Amino acid sequence: MQVPVPHGNAARVPSEIATVFADPDTCAASRDPLQEEITLELDDDVVTGLQATGPDWQVRFNAILRAWLETHPRAQ
């Protein structure tokens, strides 16, 4: 699956993140009542790339962050 990433950086997208885009259940829109609304500053090209994935891009962004956390140990 081709992950829409600006500037042709698809090779830099880790497989666990690419999986988020391939799994329709992961992308199903739902707002967990335990979710917290925050303000986050991101590079313009990152936001544009996420928005280019279509509706529910925020849900996918949350899933991307969760996948990353699950594959990277917490600092001691």
Does residue 54 form part of some domain? Answer: yes
Q: Which domain holds residue 53?
A: 6-30+39-71
Confidence band, pLDDT 50/70/90 cuts, at residue 35:
confident
Residue 20 has pLDDT above 90, yes or no: no
Q: Which two tokens mark 67?
A: 């996948």
Name which residue leads in pLDDT, 63 or 15: 63
Does residue 76 form part of some domain? Answer: no
Residue 44 has pLDDT above 90, yes or no: yes
Confidence band, pLDDT 50/70/90 cuts, at residue 73:
confident
Q: Taking residues 4-32, report their average pLDDT.
A: 57
Q: What average pLDDT does the structure give for the chain? A: 75
Number of domains in the chain: 1
The phi and psi torsions of 19 (rounded to 5 degrees) equal: -65, -35
Residues in the chain: 76
